[in-house]
Structures are given as structure tokens and as C-alpha cells.
Amino acid sequence: MNAATQPRHSPRESRDEAYNFAYLDEQTKRMIRRGLLKAVAIPGYQVPFGGREMPLPYGWGTGGMQLTAAILGAEDVLKVIDQGADDTTNAVSIRRFFARTAGVATTERTPEATIIQTRHRIPETPLHSDQIMVYQVPIPEPLRFIEPSETETRTMHALNDYGVMHVKLYEDIATFGHIATAYAYPVTVDERYVMDPSPIPKFDNPKLDMSPALMLFGAGREKRLYAVPPFTRVTSLDFEDHPFEVQKWAHNCAICGSHDSFLDELILDDQGTQSFVCSDTDYCAQRVNEGRTGQ
Amino acid sequence: MNAAQKVHQAVAADSALPLLKVNGLSKLYGPEKGCQDVSFELYPGEVLGIVGESGSGKSTLLSLLSGRCPPDSGVIDYRTTQGTWLDLYSASEAERRTLLRTEWGFVEQNPRDGLRMAVSAGANIGERLMAQGIRHYQQLRAAGLDWLDQVEIDPARIDDLPRTFSGGMQQRLQIARNLVSGPRLVFMDEPTGGLDVSVQARLLDLMRGLVRELDLAVVIVTHDLAVARLLADRLMVMRRSRVVETGLTDQILDDPQHPYSQLLVSSVLQP
């Protein structure tokens, strides 16, 4: 059996005493927590924070890591996802980073985790109210593509002036005949702020709506954080005659046979033979352990 | 009294009241730099031309009027569709923005400033409608096609980017983008500047038709007296930040009273 079908749970290790708990110093973590409280109080509003240098480059999840560091407690169980998988470079190194600097237990099993830091995916397994999702966000500003000025976008948010958001969707339909935006699909949070849900596929947008888990978003380079509190309305923007739709596949997962999860396409040989497998490796492994198979 | 007569009376009552009342408007960047002590009233369906040399304060006046830059002193009152008076600079920024994208329009001298160059012509026309909450793609599409036709652009080009359009077409697209929301008042800053004469003539012809057809009130800034004569009902001549003469267009152009107006009229080249 490979790693994908054998999820691991690593118990607490002794932490590296050379670092403060979870790498950041206590005052920085307090500053981020104050920002998070504000973000939770105003769902979808982007709160600036004093971003710190992290020991990895921007774009690799520095924003998410700072948020995780700020909320991490000694008893927490951490799961890190990269492109749905637990065993890719980014996921493995961030998990190992916190195991070393905070000495927390880590897991690949979604139901066991208390904090899930993610890039690109929300787990297929439904979340529960004791869990916190932390998203790594590259560009927090959903209006950026059409309005380069930060002062202007802030005013637009303040005045609820979101007409231009539909210009992008209009362009999609005019060019491709349907809304072709497939990831970072803009949403309205609590009928007020328009928010970029980070580069998750639009397949995951419905999972944000009325989720029992707290959702936190951190952008390291842009130094912004925002949040969706539990049980908050999150609606995806659309047109009346072109309603929001998620991706669908004609195939089932080759490993577990799932027909309703997000599938990755694999090319197996030079003849272009395709195979589709679940992007969420933990979900796939859970199903295999329940005795389900593909093909 | 029948319904038609009532409507007629309402229209008559509407056009009897000014749309915009400007009193003692001043904004100075230095002595005689900017504009000072400007007062006038603009009625529905009226076209007011502001003429004068470069640096006389025409564009400053236009940005004050259109809510883009607060004045040092003076008041601008606008009569909304509900019939209430709105003091432009005491109103909240949200109210001012709503006004600017619904009841008002602004045609920039350079169409690149007034258009979104990265999105198609159809999206440019539809933007105001989307901002007003229209969420029906087919309606937006229909409005786009209709307006391209009205400004004499081939509707087949609805999905083309504005940068593939000629200068004259871009300017016409900018006008369509502003008029789609059915504004009552449009500001124009040298709309024919930078276009060659034959394109200018065609654009002027189009604008004159639209202004009359839609009963628009227009404030147009220009240094070109020919443009003023074609479009404007009334003229204001500015010089060194002050209005030196106002009156009906024909009156000012045929019988200028102020020495500067006389100079301006006599310096037009006769081909």
C-alpha cells in the first residue's frame, strides 16, 4: 500500500527549544490575533497586519503560516494540505516546521485535525465546529484585476460599489459562452463584502457557505488577513441567466470510485491515456479503507 | 384633463426648473490660476459651452462641477429625479458616486481615460448597468448591441477590445458607455480634441442628434468655437480664472462685447 492509502498520525514530539513556541514571538502572535478578532467581527473585510519574515519564500504560504502560528496551541492537531494532498513538498515541510517549532501533533486525517492549513482545497470530508481552516492567499483583493489602485479598491469596498465584479464574469461569457473562472471565484460574504476565497477551485465555494468551521485567510506578501465566521452566508457571484455552477466530471476516481469529489487528471503514457483520481488524498484513503475500489 | 396633457404639463414643469444651480464657485491654485466666482443655472435639455484659452480654468471648473474636486468656496445644487435638491459637496461620497454613474455622465478628452481598455466594448457599455444591479446577461448584451448601433459602431464588434478601435470609434464608445444609464446631465471635456476634422464632424453630428433626442443637459468644455457653435445653446467665456462674458451662443459669436471675446472670435482661422 502506498502513502495515499495509509494516512499517518504523528504524536507530539519534543519541540526545538531554540525557537519560541510556533516560531513567532509572543507580541507578533498577539498582534495577529487582534487582527483576526477584527476580521471575524467584520466577515470578509481585509484587515492589514504587520507581516513578518518567515523562513520560506513569499508565495509558499507565509500568510497562512503566520495565522497558524498565532492560533496554534500545544494541544492542537495540525493538518496541512497542498493541492488536496498531504504528501507534497509544501505540505510536508510546513507540517514538519510546526512539529519542530511548536511540538504539536500532526495528522493527515481530516476528522482528527483541529487546525487545517490549506492551499487550493477544502477537504471533501465535512468539517465540524471544533476545526479551524487556515487558507494561504496570494492576492487577497478580488477587485485588483480591474482596479490597480489600492485607495480606490478600499473606497469601493467601503461604499459597497461592486458593479465591476460582474464585468469580469460578463467578459467570460462573451469570450467563452459560460463563466470560465474556475478558481478564486469571487463570493459575497454575509451579503456585504466581496471576497476572494483564495485559489480554491469554484467546486469548493459551496463548502464555504454556512460552514460550522471557522475560516481564516492570510496573505503574507500583501499583509492582509480576513475571515469567514462559522455559519455565515457565502454566495458566489453570478448572472440570473448564467447561474453559478461547479465543475463536473464524466469519470469516477480510479482508486476509490468516488463520483462526487474533485478529480485530478493524470496522463499515464505518451499516447495520452487519462486517469482521474481524487485530489483530496485523505478522503480517497478513507474510502479505500472502507473497502471501496475504482474500476 | 387627459393623461397626455398631464404628462405634457409635468414635462413643462420639469424644464421650467433649473437642473443645476451654481453659486460663487471658486478653486484657486494660485492668483488667477483655477477658477473663481462662477455662478450660473443650467436647465434640463440645455447645452452650456465653456470656451477660453488654455489655462483659463475651464477644466478646473468642469472637475468642480462633476464632483471630482471639492471647491474652496461656493455651492453646487443639483435637482435629483425625485425633485429634491442635493448639495453636491455636502452629500456623502456614496451619494456622489451613485449620481456620477446613474444620472450623470462624463466624457473624457482622451477616451483611454474614460474606457476600460482591458475589457470588451460590450463590457464597457454594460458596466454602469451592472453597477446599478442588472444581473441578466442577455439584457446587458441587448443594451450593448443597441448602443453600439446608436453610436454608429458595427454591433458585430461588441466583443472586440477598445484598443482595436480607431480614435473616433473609441470616443463614440465612451459616449455610449455614459449614455446607457439614461443620464440627465453629461459633462464633456474637449470631446473632439485629437480627432481629425472629418471624424470630428461626424462625431459632432452624432452628439447633436443624441443630445436633442434624449433631452440631455450638457456642460461642454472646448477651445474650438466651431464645436461650440454647433452644439451649445449658451456660452461662457473664461479668461484668467474668471467668466468674462455669458450669453446665447450666436449672440457671443456674432456680437462679442468683452474685448477678450472679440479677440477670441476674431482669431478663428477662416479656410
Question: Is A125 part of any domain?
Answer: yes
Would you call A59 a catalytic residue per the annotation?
Answer: no
How many CA atoms are closer than 13 Å to the CA of B57, on its beta-carbon side? 27
Q: Is A278 a catalytic residue?
A: yes
Give pLDDT tens digits for A19-58.
999 999 999 999 999 999 999 999 999 999 999 999 989 9
Q: Are A40 and A138 in contact (CB under 8 A)?
A: no
In a domain, A115, yes or no: yes
Residue B48 has a CB neighbour count (10 Å cut-off) of 24
> Considering only alpha carbons, which residue of chain A is nearest residue B134?
A239
Does residue A258 share a domain with residue A230?
no
Q: Residue A170: which of B93, B97, B123 has the nearest Cβ?
A: B123
Whether A106 is covered by a domain: the verdict is yes
pLDDT in tens, B6-21: 666 666 677 788 999 9
Residue whose C-alpha is closest to residue A204's, from A127, A107, A92, A96: A127
Domain tally for chain A? 2
Q: Which of A35, A61, A63, A256 is labelled catalytic?
A: A256
Mutating which of A159, A167, A172 best tests the B interface, going by the most B Cβ atoms within 10 A?
A167
Same domain, A34 and A130: yes
pLDDT of B236 > 70? The answer is: yes
- The fraction of chain A above a pLDDT of 90, given in percent, is 81
Average pLDDT over residues A202-227: 96
| Residue A64 annotated in active site | no
Of A199, A28, A8, the closest CA to residue A96 belongs to A8
Q: In the prediction, which pLDDT does A42 show?
A: 97
Instruction: Specify whether A232 is located in the same domain as A89.
Output: yes
The answer, for B136 touching chain A at a CB cutoff of 8 Å, is yes
Q: Which of B115, B137, B159 to mutate to test the interface with A (most CBs of A within 10 A)?
A: B137
Residue A60 lies in a domain: yes
Q: Are residues A193 and A252 in the same domain?
A: no
- Examine the domain organization and report whether A22 and A100 are in the same domain: yes
The answer to whether A294 is a known catalytic residue is no
Residue A148 pLDDT = 87
Q: Does residue A157 sit within a domain?
A: no
Q: Is B118 on the interface with A (CB under 8 A)?
A: yes
Contact B123 A174 (CB under 8 A): yes
pLDDT band at A1 (very low <50, low <70, confident <90, very high): very low
Tell me whether residue A44 is one of the annotated catalytic residues. Answer: yes
Shared domain for A282 and A224, answered yes or no, is: no
Amino acid of residue A240 = E
**How far is Cα of residue B266 from the mean position of the Cα atoms in its chain?**
27
Residue type, A131: Q
| A255 shares its domain with A122 | no
Name the residue of chain B whose CA is nearest to A162's CA.
B131
Tell me the β-bridge partners of B38.
B25
**Residue A139 pLDDT more than 60?**
yes
CB contact under 8 A, B118 and A167: no
Instruction: Inform me whether the C-beta atom of residue B120 falls under 8 Å from chain A C-beta atoms.
Output: yes
Q: In a mutagenesis test of the B interface, which of A147, A154, A171, A237 is the best target, namely the one with the most B β-carbons within 10 Å?
A: A171
d(CA A264, CA A96): 26
Q: Which residue has the cell 466577515?
A: A43
Residue-wise pLDDT for A155-213, tens only, equals 999 998 888 899 989 999 999 999 999 999 999 999 999 999 989 999 999 999 999 99
Helices (H), chain A: 26-41, 62-71, 89-101, 150-158, 165-176, 205-208, 281-289
pLDDT confidence of A2, banded at 50, 70, 90?
very low
Question: The whole model's pTM is what?
Answer: 0.84
* B101 pLDDT tier (thresholds 50, 70, 90): confident
pLDDT for the residue A43: 97
Co-location of A136 and A255 in the same domain: no
Are both A191 and A292 inside the same structural domain? Answer: no
Catalytic residue among A44, A64, A84, A218: A44
**Cβ pair B119:A239 closer than 8 A:** no
Residue A137 belongs to a domain: yes
Is the pLDDT assigned to residue B29 strictly greater than 90?
yes
Q: Is the pLDDT of residue A137 over 90?
A: yes
Give the pLDDT score at A12.
79
B206: pLDDT confidence band, cut at 50, 70 and 90? confident
Question: Which CATH number characterizes residue A197's domain?
Answer: 3.40.50.11310
- A174: in domain: no
Chain A and chain B share a number of CB contacts under 8 A equal to: 59
Q: Which of A242, A237, A244, A241 is nearest to A166 (CA)?
A: A237
Q: Residue B201: left if φ>0, alpha if ψ -120 to 50, beta else—which one?
A: alpha
Task: Give the whole-angstrom CA distance, residue A273 versus residue B20.
Answer: 70
For residue A167, the chain B residue with the least C-alpha distance is B123
pLDDT at A164: 87
Beta bridge partner(s), residue B247? B235
Q: Are residues A84 and A47 in the same domain?
A: yes
Separation CA B68–CA A223 (nearest Å): 31
Query: A76-117: per-residue pLDDT in tens?
Result: 999 999 989 998 999 999 999 999 999 999 999 999 999 999
Q: What range defines the domain where residue A112 resides?
A: 9-142+184-236
pLDDT digits (tens, 9 = 90+) for B165-193: 998 899 999 999 999 988 999 999 988 87
Residues A117 and A69 in one domain: yes
A16, part of any domain: yes
Note whether A206 and A74 are same-domain residues: yes
* Predicted pLDDT at A6: 61
Query: Residue A239: its chain B contacts at CB < 8 A?
Result: 135-137
